[in-house]
Amino acid sequence: MRKIQFLLLATAVAMAMTAMAQQLPVYLDDNAPIEQRVEDALSRMTLDEKIAVIHAQSKFSSPGVKRLGLPDFWTDDGPHGVRPDVLWDEWEQAGQTNDSCVAFPALTCLAASWNPDLARLFGRSLGEEARYRGKDMILGPGVNINRNPLNGRNFEYMGEDPLLAARMVVPYVQGLQSTGTAACVKHFCLNNDEEYRHQVNVIVSDRALREIYLPAFEAAVKEGHTWGIMGSYNLYKDQYCCQNQYTLGQILKGDWQYDGVVVSDWGGAHDTEMAVKNGLDMEFGSWTDGLAWGASNAYDAYYMAQPYKQLIQEGKLSTRELDDKVRRVLRLFFRTTMSNNRARGFLCSEAHYDAALEIAQQGIVLLQNKRSILPIDVDKARRVLVVGENAIKMMTVGGGSSSLKVQHEILPLDGIKARLAGTGIQVDYARGYVGDTTGEYNGVVAKQSLVDNRPAASLIAEAVDKARGADYVIIFGGLNKSDYQDAEGHDRRHMGMPYGQDELVEALARVNKNVVFVNISGDAVAMPWRDKVAAILQGWFVGSEAGKAFASILLGDANPSGKLPFTWPVSLDDLGAHALGTYPGTWRDGHKIIDEEYKEGIYVGYRWTDKQGKRPMFAFGHGLSYTTFKLTNLRIDKQQVAPDGSITATVTVKNTGNRAGAEVVQLYVSDLSGNVDMPVKELRGFSKVTLQPGQSQDVTITIGPRAFQYWDEQQSRWTTSHGKRTLLVGTASDNLPLKASFTVL
């Protein structure tokens, strides 16, 4: 009897388990296709659940669907490191003790490496830090084009050239998402100013939009397959870009067939119907977003929350748009929070610091090196003087949403002292100038005190006195991440350096011929004293390993190989945005909207200086090395190219110096067909190669067919320009000695 009872019980349990298995939602089956899991989950969701997942529930999170086992979704800044946790509804720190991070170099430094492999390493390393911290989406990278050197946020972007930005953003996104962490490429699009970012309405030709401002985003979508895109604050065609029928509806989701989510910048939505109909998928906001300050139901008051639900219930909106948004959000969940294939997380690992150091070393640009004064000769030097506040100032704190709370940051002075310890070389320091001594952002306080009340004259006098007997004077100057410098929310007011630094540099150059200026900034600064100093390094904001990176370059442990990702003008009038008087724009009546017309069109950066015959201070793609290279024997695989074909160029590169080093082979194309107005030349390909002394290597670059096209505004499509081309190859946009001709049929 007991045996029969056991069998009956076992049979009943088996039948019950079978029935339960049949009822299990498909989305729990990891072997089912994502789209099948998306449709299954969507069919099970209530209207309230659908509304909930498309807007925030806190400063950085949105809800999942607990009833269906879908966890909450957590976003975080930023592109250079995982931002410290803040309170649920406020920007202030949450007081965590495990939210420090590795600060990777700013994206201008990454772009200056001209090394896509490093971009992949950057993304992968950042994704691992995000995984450890429980973040599902990193709000970055940024790929807005450097149109104007005054933009306070240029340090977060990848330069002025659409091809360079495109080739760097794709592996970054792929590396980041390989960890199961979503990228959120930003700010889509035309976010080229900070000062009036909430009010500026950009007026730009379709051709410039497609050829200059969109290619990096397009590559991130079509090649990188980014899972997230963030809309920008500004307007285009009088519509905010977080709810824009042209950029989000027609281009992103129409032309490019984007299947990911569009996330609003924080507080970037302005109207429920516009947001619903014009492409926004997930709405986030600042504090409780300004719609219902302090109210307990503030998140329900978002445009995409209860107001949306009410319009559906009243029959004024259908659920068609809602279901499309929810599908995209569910797709995001199954790619991230619901995926069992996510990478392990690591926080502040040795590998991440190594990655940060390598990116910094390859991105630092040697702009000038008279008499080959660098690297520092440790056999002859006896005394090195380091000058400047930027040698002792933490640069990971501040600048806006990319501000970080680091485990450690090696300061330039400390890095140089550590490197020279035991060599017998004395390292002295003079402040030189006093700038921003606050060192605080959103509750993160720099672990240092920079207060110095001495007058400027005394600081300069001290530095000059110490410089007289020094073998090398290394000035760390430039900008910092204070307002109206390199910082979110404001643009710089001019190209000049703050805090009386020009006077300091001039004074030091008068008493010492071996002055090295290390410029810390995200963009170009005026250098009226350029010819009076021996060497200039562009140092960027290089993160946790800053001091070690600068010491390794200055002492020659690493050979600089960075190249400028933008044109460094002598003055603002050397660039179209300022020469044509279009920046910052013209206020409309009522001072609510400012129209900024990009009158220079496609002529941004080197395209403008080439057209005008201007000679910049430092050209796009410029960067020196401690060794020398020679490029020879350019050959192409064909003389005629079909419109849908490609052409391959090969050049022999030889390291003709006595140090190992890396060179960037740059390929530009001049369109001589005369079919349409074209720049003098445009970057169409590049490749970075590392060589030992005396070593030669063939470098091959293939281009086409986009390289043969322009955006035809009359037909609203890419059109091939048939006819003659000149292919130019060299190591900077103003150093292209090799040429070959071909014809596009």
- Cα separation, 474 vs 335, whole angstroms: 49
DSSP codes, 161-215: -HHHHHHHHHHHHHHHHTTT-EEEEEEETT---STTTTTEEEE--HHHIIIIISH
Q: Determine the pLDDT at residue 441.
A: 84
Q: Determine the pLDDT at residue 91.
A: 82
pLDDT tens by residue, 239-279: 999 999 999 999 999 999 999 999 999 999 999 999 999 99
Is the per-residue pLDDT at 289 higher than 90? no
Our measurement of the distance from residue 718's CA atom to the centroid of its chain's CA atoms, rounded to an integer in Å, reads 27
pLDDT band at 293 (very low <50, low <70, confident <90, very high): low
What mean pLDDT is predicted for residues 414-424? 97
- Give the residue carrying structure tokens 């990278």: 141
Q: Determine the pLDDT at residue 494.
A: 97
Beta bridge partners of 682: 669
Is the per-residue pLDDT at 380 higher than 80? yes
**For the chain, what percent of residues have pLDDT higher than 70?**
95
Beta bridge partners of 188: 231
Nearest to 110 by CA among 664, 729, 607, 542: 542
Q: Determine the pLDDT at residue 294.
A: 55
- Give the residue carrying structure tokens 């889509």: 188
Q: Determine the pLDDT at residue 508.
A: 98
pLDDT tens by residue, 453-471: 999 999 999 999 999 999 9
pLDDT tens by residue, 159-189: 999 999 999 999 999 999 999 999 999 999 9
What dihedral angle (degrees, nearest 10) is formed by the CA atoms of 51, 227, 262, 79? 120
CATH 2.60.40.10 boundaries in the chain: 627-744
What the block records as the tokens of 623 is: 């960067």
Q: Determine the pLDDT at residue 416.
A: 98
The CATH number fitting domain 32-90+101-335, selected from 3.40.50.300, 3.40.50.720, 3.20.20.300, 3.50.50.60? 3.20.20.300
**For the chain, what percent of residues have pLDDT higher than 90?**
89
Q: Determine the pLDDT at residue 607.
A: 98
What mean pLDDT is predicted for residues 213-234? 98
Q: Determine the pLDDT at residue 356.
A: 98
CATH class given for the domain over 362-567: alpha beta
Q: Determine the pLDDT at residue 287.
A: 59
CATH 3.40.50.1700 boundaries in the chain: 362-567
Instruction: Say which residues have a Cβ less than 8 Å from residue 304's Cβ, sequence separation at least 6.
Output: 51, 54, 55, 269, 272, 275, 276, 280, 282, 283
Q: Determine the pLDDT at residue 298.
A: 82
Residues with a known catalytic role:
265
Q: Determine the pLDDT at residue 270.
A: 95
What mean pLDDT is predicted for residues 677-682? 98
Q: Determine the pLDDT at residue 286.
A: 74
The answer to whether 139 touches 76, Cβ cutoff 8 Å, is yes
The answer to whether 716 touches 207, Cβ cutoff 8 Å, is no
Q: Does 617 or 293 have the greater pLDDT score?
A: 617
What burial class does residue 37 get, using C-beta atoms within 10 Å of its C-beta: 0-12 exposed, 13-18 middle, 19+ buried? buried
CATH 3.20.20.300 boundaries in the chain: 32-90+101-335
Average per-residue pLDDT for the chain:
94
Tell me, which fold does domain 627-744 have in CATH? Immunoglobulin-like (2.60.40)
pLDDT tens by residue, 513-532: 999 999 999 999 999 999 99
Is the per-residue pLDDT at 724 higher than 80? yes
Q: Determine the pLDDT at residue 296.
A: 60
Q: Determine the pLDDT at residue 43.
A: 96
Helices (H), 468-593: 501-511, 546-554, 576-579
Q: Determine the pLDDT at residue 210.
A: 98
Q: Determine the pLDDT at residue 443.
A: 80
The model's pTM is 0.95
What burial class does residue 511 get, using C-beta atoms within 10 Å of its C-beta: 0-12 exposed, 13-18 middle, 19+ buried? middle
Q: Determine the pLDDT at residue 604.
A: 98
Helices (H), 245-387: 272-277, 306-313, 320-335, 350-363
Nearest to 153 by CA among 245, 236, 246, 265: 265
pLDDT band at 288 (very low <50, low <70, confident <90, very high): low
Q: Determine the pLDDT at residue 24.
A: 47
Q: Determine the pLDDT at residue 6.
A: 40
Number of helices and strands (H, E) in the chain?
18, 29
What the block records as the tokens of 277 is: 């109909």
pLDDT band at 634 (very low <50, low <70, confident <90, very high): very high
